């Protein structure tokens, strides 16, 4: 309980702490108003009493702050462009084999003299023999991409689009294990499995629309793709 001196110079009280706080809110008193605790003779400023200090009189305001979005994450469109560039390079490597097989098919269709079984056998033989035409280019591309991923965390496509693969946990260099083997090689092997590979490919691509923009192969490898 307190006694206070009002703006008119008169003493009011005894009054409770809650009443004085209500007067302060209403503008009838302030922290400079003179007051004394009941049973004492010492006049002090209201603000000098612990009951009316800002920490005591103002209830804390609790606010929830949403975590800031990671602005370093690569845009899905840029990731798609990088994948398109890498896919185009792979298509170029397969071009010699495709050209040879198409030439064989054109010849068979033009002759019109082969039975269905002979057509299948000829196409199979042509495809098998033509694989050697693309093998050196494919091997060179795999070696190039593996080296870039190990050293820089980038493929050719990601270099051109200024993107990089890093560890999701700490942003460290992904390296060969996470950047190439777990993120690239294993998922590619899985995609070759009939039906399961197609389902994996669809789910994998849909995961890019997550808030952290990490595809399924990123989650497997513990990586993310960032801008540089």
Instruction: Look at the alpha carbons of 126, 128, 132, 136 in this order and tell me if their dihedral is positive or negative.
Output: positive
Structure confidence at residue 57 (pLDDT): 47
Structure confidence at residue 157 (pLDDT): 96
Instruction: Look at the alpha carbons of 144, 146, 152, 157 in this order and tell me if their dihedral is positive or negative.
Output: positive
The set of residues, in sequence order, having a beta carbon less than 8 Å from that of 167 and lying 6+ positions away, is 173, 174, 178, 222, 223, 224
Structure confidence at residue 61 (pLDDT): 54
Q: Report helix, strand or coil for 54.
A: helix
What tens digit of pLDDT does each residue of 66-82 get? 555 677 899 999 999 99
| Domain ranges across the chain | 2-57, 76-98+134-227
Instruction: Identify the bridge partners of residue 45 per DSSP, sorted by sequence position.
Output: 34
Q: Which residue has the higher pLDDT, 49 or 147?
A: 147
pTM of the predicted protein model: 0.63
% of the chain surpassing 70 pLDDT: 87
CATH fold, domain 2-57, is: Dna Ligase; domain 1 (3.30.1490)
Helices (H), 64-195: 76-111, 116-152, 156-160, 175, 186-191
pLDDT band at 28 (very low <50, low <70, confident <90, very high): confident
Between vectors from CA 75 to CA 72 and to CA 80, what angle results, nearest 5°?
A: 135
């Amino acid at each position: 309980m307190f006694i206070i001196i009002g703006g008119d110079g008169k003493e009011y009280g005894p009054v409770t702490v809650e009443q004085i706080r209500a007067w302060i809110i209403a503008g009838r008193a302030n922290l400079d108003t003179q007051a004394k605790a009941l049973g004492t003779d010492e006049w002090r400023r209201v603000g000098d009493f612990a009951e009316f200090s800002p920490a005591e009189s103002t209830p804390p305001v609790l606010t929830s702050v949403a975590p800031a979005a990671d602005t370093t994450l690569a845009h899905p469109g840029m990731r798609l462009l990088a994948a398109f560039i890498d896919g185009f390079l792979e298509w170029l490597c397969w071009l010699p084999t495709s050209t040879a097989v198409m030439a064989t098919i054109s010849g068979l269709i033009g002759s019109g003299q082969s039975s269905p079984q002979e057509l299948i056998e000829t196409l199979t033989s042509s495809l098998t023999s033509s694989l050697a035409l693309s093998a050196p280019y494919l091997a060179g591309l795999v070696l190039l991409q593996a080296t870039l991923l190990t050293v820089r965390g980038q493929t050719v496509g990601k270099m051109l689009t200024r993107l990089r693969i890093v560890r999701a946990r700490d942003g460290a260099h992904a390296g060969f294990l996470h950047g190439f083997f777990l993120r690239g090689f294993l998922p590619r092997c899985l995609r070759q499995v009939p039906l399961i590979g197609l389902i994996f490919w669809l789910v994998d691509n849909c995961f890019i629309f997550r808030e952290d923009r990490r595809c399924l192969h990123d989650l497997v490898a513990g990586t993310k793709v960032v801008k540089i």
